[in-house]
Structure 1
Amino acid sequence: MEEETLIEGENTKELSPALISVHPLDKFVVVAVGSELRAFDLGEQQAISLSDSSGGPSHSDAIRAICFGAKGKVFASAGDDKLVKIWMTDSWQCVRTVCSEKRVSAVAISHDGLYITFADKFGVVWVLDLNEDGNGRAVADKKALPMLGHYCSIITSLEFSPDSRFIATADRDFKIRITKLPKSPQKGAHEIQSFCLGHTDFVSSLSFISSLDHPTGFLLSGGGDATVRLWDYISGCLLGNCEVGAKD
């Protein structure tokens, strides 16, 4: 999501975005406002009390990215405090806090729940192995490793393809990159499948859609050029373009 600014004379104040993420089975909805994370149980119609057993610090600055993963079993939050926090949704406990070297702009969890990826403000995507120990908790001594990069362009969105074969990354320099996910992501992802090029301003969001007829799916993107675009992400071909409004 694009950062907003408020200009008062010569002073510029950066506003924290409000983020919303809905559980894939509509069980929960999570809202991030500033550094605060709020969860709501849609079935019980009540707020959820979050707890932190990770031993790490709480969010202290704007949360810039939140997402569900592994069919809703895992949730992640990350932001300007350089923290990535991993939550288990059966208990809503934070079981792992990862410290990034830079501010985090995007986060995604693999569909099988084995990996979490996050992007920092310098355009580097990091990967962390979420394999658990015998007690069902993430192994704490594992470190995030660099997987791919966008060469100093801030990554605004990060998504795994429906079949988990690819990872899509978008940035402020109008680019969408489709990268093949290697069998061992910790060793880096160097093979680029395609680029989806056509946006004329920053790309702010990505979303994969799929159906029984098209299990590999298609990619939707939106951005500052006030368009929503539909892509064959395997080839990088633009399939459709919809103008949604005038630019600010």
Structure 2
Amino acid sequence: MNILKFQHEEDFAATGANLIASLLQSNPRAVLGLATGSSPIGVYAKLVEMHRKGMVSFARASSFNLDEYVGLPADHPQSYRSFMNEHLFSHIDIDPARTYIPSGNAADLDAECRAYDKLLEEQGPADLQILGIGSNGHIGFNEPDASLSSGTHVVDLLEETLEANARFFDRLEDVPRQAVTMGIGGILKAKQIVLLVRGEEKAEAVKQALQGPITTQCPASLLQSHPNVVVLLDEGAAKWLK
């Protein structure tokens, strides 16, 4: 793992954006694995700025998002489709038809999961996969468990995840209790993984993921088995690393 620590948010965001821009400059048809949450927002803002300056194009790229809440239509303001449109897709030249996000509102969720894995198999794997990490060590919405699913699947969100995501909703009761998520196998197939983590509240999860034992009780620890991982941390997230 290549672990980089940053004092300033601007440097954190610029480094993440430059990794993606460099990939697209060398491979315009790159497949991007994208994530939602607070950590990548600055990176997406920097990519939008670079695109406006003519420094990067997404015109021939495609993207796959990690996850989506179950029960939210794509146009719901807290859906991950809405998040991606707001922070990235609506501001760049990517073809909307090549921005793939699993549907959490599908009539048959099992069939949706199988279809998403088929798309990933046909068009992937991701050339670069962006990840965040939950305070309990989840990546995507792969929650700590005795075993982890390899393929895209429906997951019951743990209480701590619901509480962490409640800030985006009016009430805790409004947070969907399930999500569709890419599985650990799909994530680890990416050619390169970029883990973005901001905030002291994630410091313990970062320590367990990067320096603890590889265990399904900390799904992010499985990144230790991947040959090409870049980790970008702010000072708070890096607090407990040796």
With structure 1 as the length reference, what TM-score do the two structures score?
A: 0.28
The higher relative CO (CA closer than 8 Å, separation ≥ 6) is in 2
Structure with greater proportional helix content: 2
With structure 2 as the length reference, what TM-score do the two structures score?
A: 0.29
Structure with greater proportional strand content: 1
